[in-house]
Structure 1
Amino acid sequence: MLTNLGRFPSSYQRLVLLWALDPAERDALLANEATKRWTSSNQVLMEIACTRSANQLLHARQAYHARYKKSLEEDVAHHTTGDFRKLLLPLVSSYRYEGEEVNMTLAKTEAKLLHEKISDKAYSDDDVIRVLATRSKAQINATLNHYKNEYGNDINKDLKADPKDEFLALLRSTVKCLVYPEKYFEKVLRLAINRRGTDEGALTRVVCTRAEVDLKIIADEYQRRNSVPLTRAIVKDTHGDYEKLLLVLAGHVEN
C-alpha cells in the first residue's frame, strides 16, 4: 500500500505514513520534525512530553535514538533557546510517577510557591519548571486545585498576564496537557479546522496520535465547545481519500 502512495494528495500520504508507524516511531518522527522546524510558537515537543505516559515517552526517546543516532534531549537542547529550552528539556527528559497517590501537604506548599512566583512574574523560575516537569499528573492536579481554591483563579488565568507572550502560552498549554489534555487537543483541532485554509498538519497529527487513545473524549469536548460534531467539521473542511481516512480514524461509521 505504501509503495503506491505517490498518486495520492500529500495530505493523504502524510496521514497514511504516520498511521502506519508504531506509536513510538511516530512520536520520534514528530519530535524530530518539531526540533528541526522549531519556533517559539511550536508546541509539538511539549504536547508529546506531557500527553504520553512515562513509558510511552521513554519508548519515543528510545525510538529517537535508533532512528536518528542521537538523543531527543540533544536535539531539543540544540534547536531551542532561552526559557523555552529551560522548560522543554526537562519535559522531554521526564519519567513521571503515574500512581494516584497525592501528598496534600506538598500540594498546598507548591500551590503557594507557584502563586508567589507567578505574582512576581518569575514564570521561568526553576521551581515552577521543577513542579511542572517532575510531579505526577495526579499531584499536579491536586496542587492546581488547591491553587484555585486558595487564590481564586485557575492558574492559567494568572498566566495570561501578556496574551502575546509565547512562553506564557507554552506554560498554559503545558498545564492544560498535564491536567485536561482533551481541552488542549480540542483547541488544536478547532484552530486547525476553523482557520482560513485547514491546518492539515495539526489535524493529521491529532487524529493519528489520539485515535487509539482518547479521540472520542476529544470529539465530545469538541462538540461541547463548538456545538458541531467533530466528524461533521472534518467533512466540511476536507475531501476525498484524506477525508475518508480521517473519518475512519475518528470512529465515524456510515449508516
Structure 2
Amino acid sequence: MATLTVPPVPLNPRDDAIQLYKAFKGFGCDTAAVIAILAHRDATQRSYIQQEYRSMYNDDILKRLSSELSGKLETAVLLWMHDPAGRDAIILRQGLTRDFINLEAVTEIICSRTPSQVQHLKGIYHGTFLEYLEHNIEQQASGDHQKLLLACVNKPRYEGMEVDRELAAKDAKALYKAGEKKLGTDEKVFVQIFSERSRAHLVAINTCYHDMYGRSLKKAIKSETSGLFESALLTILQCAENPAKYFAKVLYKSMKGLGTNDTTLIRVIVTRTEIDMQYIKAEYFKKYKKSLNDAVHSETSGHYRTFLLSLLGPNH
C-alpha cells in the first residue's frame, strides 16, 4: 500500500511543466510550489512531466532541479524523479562507484528486491552506465558478502508461494550443520540456500529450523556470521518474512541517536512510498510506539521536511 496522494482528477503534465518552469523563473526558486507538484505525482506522471518539460523548454528538468535546489532536498527530489528500477540502479551505482562507497545501500537494494526486480534493474544498470553490475560488485565487495550478492544478481529464483516441506526441512538441517553444529561456519551452504530459494521457501526453512532446533534462524545467523555478510543474510530472511517490518527498523536506526543518517532516510522513504509505505508506517508505530511522520518531523526541517512528509501522507 502506497502513501502517495495524487490529485483525484489527473492533471495535464503540460500544465505541471508550465507551473514548474514558472517556479524556477526569476530570482530564487519557489521551492514550495515545486514540492507541491512533484511530491503528489506518481512515477508515470513524473515521467510525462520530464518529457513535456524537455519538449516545451528544450531543457532537462533534472538538471534544472539540480541547479535550483540544494542539499538534502535536492538529493531526495532528484531520486524521486526516477521510476523504481532506474532509481535502484542509481542507488547501486552511487554505492559502488562514488568516493564514498556505500555497501549497506547496495546490500539493501539487492537483498530486499524480488528476483524479477533485480533482473530488471540489472538490465537498466547496464543500459544506463554501460557497465555490468556484477563487475562493479566484484570490484567493491569482497569475501562471502560478494559471493552472496553476485549469486542474488545472477540466479533467477522461483517467486511463487508453493513450498516443498521436505526440502525446507532438509535445508534447515543443512544450515544447522553448516553453522551452529560445527566449529566455524560453512558459508558456502548459507550463500547457496539464501540465493537460490524463494521467499516462501525461506519462511518455511525458518519455521522448520525453529521446530527442529528450538531457536530462530535469525539468531543462528547472528551468532555464526558477521559484518556485511550477516547483514545481507538477515535482509534476505527478513524481507522474505515481512519487508515492511524490515524497512521500519532501517528507518528507526537511521534516526536513532545523535544526528540522522539522511542518506538512508531519503533512500527508504523515496523507494518505498509507492510500494508499501502504509505497511511500513503501521509496523513502525507497532514497534516503536511513535508514528513515522512524527519521527521524521522531529529529525528534519524546512523544505526537506515538507517533501518527506508529503511522501509519507497523512499522519494516522
TM-score of the superposed pair, with normalisation by structure 2: 0.74
Q: 1:221 aligned to 2:283?
A: yes
Q: Which residue of 2 aligns with 1:140?
A: 202
- Seen in structure 2, the aligned counterparts of structure 1 residues 134 and 17 have a Cα distance that, compared at 3 Å, is same
- Seen in structure 2, the aligned counterparts of structure 1 residues 113 and 57 have a Cα distance that, compared at 3 Å, is same
- Seen in structure 2, the aligned counterparts of structure 1 residues 164 and 58 have a Cα distance that, compared at 3 Å, is closer
Select the residue among 189, 192, 197 that pairs with 1:130: 192
Q: 1:190 aligned to 2:252?
A: yes
Between the aligned partners of 1:110 and 1:163, the Cα distance in structure 2 is 18
Cα distance, 1:7 vs structure 2: 4.0
**Structure number, greater radius of gyration:** 2
Select the residue among 186, 201, 216 that pairs with 2:263: 201
Select the residue among 230, 237, 243 that pairs with 2:292: 230
**Do 1:47 and 1:177's aligned partners in 2 also have CA atoms closer than 8 Å?**
no
Between the aligned partners of 1:104 and 1:38, the Cα distance in structure 2 is 46
Q: Which residue of 2 aligns with 1:16?
A: 77
Q: 1:155 aligned to 2:217?
A: yes
Task: Give unpaired runs (5+ residues) of structure 1.
Answer: none
Matching of residues 50-129 of structure 1 within 5 Å: 50-119=111-180, 120=182, 122-123=184-185, 125-129=187-191
Q: Could you say what the CA RMSD is over the residues aligned between the two structures, in angstroms?
A: 2.3
Between the aligned partners of 1:211 and 1:245, the Cα distance in structure 2 is 12
Query: Which stretch shifts more, 242-251 or 100-109?
Result: 242-251
Between the aligned partners of 2:183 and 2:92, the Cα distance in structure 1 is 30
Q: 2:290 corresponds to which letter in structure 1?
A: V
- Seen in structure 2, the aligned counterparts of structure 1 residues 49 and 189 have a Cα distance that, compared at 3 Å, is same
**Do 1:76 and 1:89's aligned partners in 2 also have CA atoms closer than 8 Å?**
yes
Q: 1:78 corresponds to which letter in structure 2?
A: Q
After TM superposition, where is structure 1 displaced by more than 6 Å over at least 4 residues in a row? 38-41
What SS is found at the alignment partner of 1:98?
coil
Cα distance, 1:131 vs structure 2: 0.8
Higher relative contact order (CA 8 A, sep 6+): 2
What SS is found at the alignment partner of 1:248?
helix
Query: Number of residues paired by the alignment?
Result: 254
**Do 1:87 and 1:124's aligned partners in 2 also have CA atoms closer than 8 Å?**
no
**Do 1:114 and 1:128's aligned partners in 2 also have CA atoms closer than 8 Å?**
yes
**Do 1:123 and 1:168's aligned partners in 2 also have CA atoms closer than 8 Å?**
no
**Do 2:239 and 2:246's aligned partners in 1 also have CA atoms closer than 8 Å?**
yes
Between the aligned partners of 1:38 and 1:162, the Cα distance in structure 2 is 31
Query: Which stretch shifts more, 177-186 or 203-212?
Result: 177-186
Q: 1:107 corresponds to which letter in structure 2?
A: A
Query: Which stretch shifts more, 111-120 or 160-169?
Result: 160-169
Q: Which residue of 1 aligns with 2:45?
A: none
- Seen in structure 2, the aligned counterparts of structure 1 residues 115 and 162 have a Cα distance that, compared at 3 Å, is closer
Instruction: Show CA shifts across 1:36-93 (max 9, x none).
Output: 2599983222222232223221111011011111211111112111122111111222
